[in-house]
Amino acid sequence: MKFRVFKGKNIIQGVSDASFGSIAGTKKNQRAVKFLKYLEHKVSNRDFVWAEQVFGAKVHICKASDSGKTIKGVDGLTSNVRNQVLAIVSADCLPILLYDPKIEVVAALHGSRKSLLKGIIKNAVSKLVSNFNVNPSYILVGIGPHIRKCHYFIDLTKIVISDLLKSCIKRKNIEDSEICTYCSAKTYFSRRKRMDNPNFSKEKRGRFASFIGLNSRRKTLTKI
């Protein structure tokens, strides 16, 4: 899937589904490239930056030299490096993608319950403001598939949207996929669904992935 809120923007973006297999382990880069190629984005294994995802709230500012790496000890990534693709894997937690079209900087966050309660959204927006001079009112946000209150004891969606609004991001700039991973476990992996029904999926540690990155600059015509 792709987010409508990013439509027409010169970025790489998308959320994989189970038809592309689990984007985790040794095959993650190979499957990630295949998925983004399906969305007509040409990338290579060396373009990805992965967050280790330790259920914390640290957000890393990526350099060009981070391409092809997994950044240890972080659950969030931000970048203004072109053709660098930020990647977050999920199986119930919230993938949150951010893009400022004015400054042209992106971020990808792993919204686990612990990460959200520790303030990962506030940390991410603060880094965008302090390091890139971003105005939060311009930030566009895509919230990917995740477990919803129908199958979880906490309304993670409500927490995320509340934190985004508190960070001065406009509600009209926030798109929620409205997909519950538990309800749609055949399309998007759900760890909790598999815990309740171990035979539901052949993938023991199935993960889908959410991607965002800046494309190369568009060529502009010079007026004479």
pTM: 0.94
CATH number where 189 lies: 3.60.140.10
In the structure, what pLDDT confidence band is assigned to residue 11 with cuts at 50, 70 and 90? very high
Q: Minimal CA–CA distance to 147: which of 118, 124, 114, 113?
A: 113
Cα(54)–Cα(74) distance, integer angstroms: 6
What pLDDT is attached to residue 102? 96
Q: Where are the alpha helices (DSSP H) in 14-66?
A: 28-38
In a domain, 221, yes or no: no
Task: Supply the DSSP symbol for 142.
Answer: E
Joined together, the tokens standing for residue 76 give 């969030």
Residue 220 domain-assigned (yes or no):
no
In a domain, 135, yes or no: yes
- pLDDT tens sequence across 51-80: 999 999 999 999 999 999 999 999 999 999
Q: Of the candidates 118, 106, 120, 176, which has an alpha carbon nearest to the alpha carbon of residue 146? A: 176
Q: Is residue 74 part of a domain?
A: yes
Domain total in the chain: 1
The answer to whether the beta carbons of residues 43 and 85 sit under 8 Å apart is: yes
- Taking residues 184-192, report their average pLDDT: 92
**Residue 96, token pair as written in the block:** 């949150």
Under the phi-then-psi rule, with left for phi > 0, alpha for psi from -120 to 50, and beta for the rest, what region is 115?
alpha
Residue 95 in domain = yes
Domain that holds residue 97: 4-214
